[in-house]
Amino acid sequence: GNSVTQMEGPVTLSEEAFLTINCTYTATGYPSLFWYVQYPGEGLQLLLKATKADDKGSNKGFEATYRKETTSFHLEKGSVQVSDSAVYFCALKLSGNTPLVFGKGTRLSVIA
Amino acid sequence: DTAVSQTPKYLVTQMGNDKSIKCEQNLGHDTMYWYKQDSKKFLKIMFSYNNKELIINETVPNRFSPKSPDKAHLNLHINSLELGDSAVYFCASSQGQRGVYEQYFGPGTRLTVT
């Protein structure tokens, strides 16, 4: 089946530290890949996406590259801020009438 | 001008009761979804409607019945509530279902069954 595996959290970093959240996937076809972010008490927001191999999605200083050879879509940011504290979800979607498949989420806490 | 809104935000009820959660989107999207987020933050699709037609119906007890009166609304009715139904329920919408259109999420409804 289709699934997404994310690194277990929580992740605690100091402000301005480098962030990596690992995400790997298993899919029966060629999925599009997404990172969503959920701030405390809010719904999910799309952070970035990539629709084909070697695409790089980027937004708000976050980046992720679609690596077909390693079936990965790791999220990175060079210098995190306290305001980045949230839960991050990696997700995939195949074409057709298929749903988003989410990983279990990784909680990030950034301390000043 | 909230894009996807849900009511209520919090819902506390007793086992055995029947309750509804409402969702409305003002984005002009034609596809709407219900997701369940459990206590460990795991998100799973429950239903998807496209132009008021049920497209996705995952393995969900038939106590859960979605209803889409029009493209802008997707309500979730739950009969005979159980303790295990306690979760946060998110509504979402997108323009289209077959492609990779961004899904916009509502703020969630936290359901607590006692």
Q: Report pLDDT digits (tens) over A26-43.
A: 998 889 999 999 998 888
What is the reported pLDDT for A71? 96
pLDDT for residue A1 is more than 70: yes
Grade residue B85 by pLDDT with cuts at 50, 70 and 90: very high
pLDDT for residue A78 is more than 80: yes
**Sign of the dihedral defined by the CA atoms of residues A35, A80, A65, A60, in that order:** positive
C-alpha closest to that of B91 among B5, B1, B8, B2: B5
Return the residue matching tokens 């480098």: A18
Residue A101: its chain B contacts at CB < 8 A?
45
Mean pLDDT of chain A: 93
A4/A53 Cα distance (integer angstroms): 16
C-beta of residue B25 within 8 angstroms of C-beta of residue B2? no
- Most A CBs within 10 A among B43, B49, B51, hence the mutation to make, goes to B43
C-beta of residue B92 within 8 angstroms of C-beta of residue B104? yes
Q: What is the DSSP string of B77-89?
A: EE-S--GGG-EEE
Under an 8 A CB cutoff, do B107 and A42 touch? yes
Grade residue A63 by pLDDT with cuts at 50, 70 and 90: very high
What's the mean pLDDT in A42-64? 94
C-alpha closest to that of A33 among A68, A78, A84, A76: A68
> pLDDT digits over B22-70, tens only?
999 999 998 899 999 998 888 999 998 888 888 888 878 899 999 999 9
Neighbours of B78 (CB within 10 A): 21
